[in-house]
Structure 1
Amino acid sequence: MAAAMVPLEVALSDAIGARVRINTSSPAPSTIEGTLFTACPITNLVAINTKPSPNPADAKQAQAGDYRIIPISRIQSFNLISLPPSSNGPDGSSFTDAVPPVQALDIRALKTREANAVGKAQESEAKRGKGVTQDAQDVFDAFNRTMPTRWDGSNIIVADAVSITAPYQVDDCRPLVAGDVAALNHVRKVLEMERKKIELRNASASIGKPGTPNNAGQRKGG
């Protein structure tokens, strides 16, 4: 009984990693020899690494590659020159024999990066006031640039010494420890200065907007 014919794409898929010689048909018949890198059944393309068989002991040579992409429809025939390297994986595949080689991931470094990213995200979230106005957030950000600052509900706590309650004016500063006049006076001075900066920024942002008092109803001439 004659053996069943195996589709070309299936045969090529089974030969990945092997050294092969492929004969292509028109419009430009040619013979290509190399390592079968991949055979994609979706795009119907194969990739051949035409570099000589790498020496596993030479890392630079193992990473070398000169790839040719060939449509399966152009392949007239192919021959196995040598089998792919032996595989140790449970499904017949092994990353240890991959060409180019697949480097092992540094799991410890990845976990450290993940922990750092999560920590930064949590820190950034902790600096965002919940249910407060943009004005309150501006005051918080101003203090946070130079002093340790945190939220306690809607109150701003500066240096664990002074609490600033809404509406976050100079008179809304209270020491957390009774009699801590030095800390209170310092925070009040900083708040007064930052309030002036915020007011200047807001005034500058409003200049040039249609309908603002600065340019509404202006007339040229005297």
Structure 2
Amino acid sequence: MTEGVETPAEFAVGCSVRLRVEGNQELSGEIFAVDPTYKVVVLKTLGADADLPDIAILNMDSVTEIVEATPRKTAPSEDSDQLPEVDPKRGIQREARAVRLAQQDAQRIGVGVSRRGQAVYDAISKTLPCHWDSKTIVVLDEVAISEPYEVSSCRNLHDSDSPLLERVRLVMNSELVVR
């Protein structure tokens, strides 16, 4: 940037500027953010899509000339670019939901199981609710699939004959042959 000028007033957030940068390229837009510590200015420019602006992140040292600068037209409190208020309760709810979903995702991953075991679990869980009980896959609390996670490893957890056992075997045969 021009010598002797650290952070010019033209780099105030909201100002419209036309800058010349190294390589004699000109950029026009609105100052969106400035960080004098890292010598960075963020310029909001017109994008190819009229509804979405482009963002240019510039090192202040690359600015060779401030060709034109216009101060912001409105006071910051009146500016339409102000960030909306954040509802803390809604943020807490979103965080709780994200944590709950992450915990559910984590429960779907078997600890210390083989790739085949995880593949069987993933195939079964597409159509039937199941969970891990140590290294055993439990389907609807009726069928257990133990290591080595073959069709022959499926068994009923109750004495009764369950059509679910045949369904699990069918899913294993059809889903895992493809893999």
TM-score class normalised by the smaller sequence = 0.5 to 0.7
Q: Normalized against structure 1, the TM-score is what?
A: 0.47
Other structure's SS at 2:94 match: helix
Other structure's SS at 1:187 match: helix
Match of 1:73 in 2: none
Rounded Cα–Cα distance in structure 1 between residues aligned with 2:162 and 2:35? 77
The higher radius of gyration belongs to 1
Offset at residue 49 of structure 1 (A): 7.1
Rounded Cα–Cα distance in structure 2 between residues aligned with 1:174 and 1:115? 37
Match of 1:127 among 78, 92, 108: 108
Aligned ranges 1:1-222 → 2 under 5 Å: 50-54=71-75, 62-63=78-79, 101=82, 103-198=84-179
Structure 1: gaps (5+ residues):
1-8, 17-36, 57-61, 65-99, 199-222
Offset at residue 135 of structure 1 (A): 0.8
Residues 40/170 of structure 1: CA separation in 2 closer, same or farther (3 Å cut):
closer
Contact 2:136 2:147 in 1 (8 A): yes
Rounded Cα–Cα distance in structure 2 between residues aligned with 1:183 and 1:42? 63
Residues 160/53 of structure 1: CA separation in 2 closer, same or farther (3 Å cut):
same
Structure 2: gaps (5+ residues):
1-5, 13-32, 40-59, 61-68
Other structure's SS at 1:157 match: strand
Offset at residue 40 of structure 1 (A): 5.0
Q: Which has the higher contact order (CA 8 A, sep 6+)?
A: 2
Q: Which amino acid aligns with 2:158?
A: V
Q: CA RMSD in A?
A: 3.4
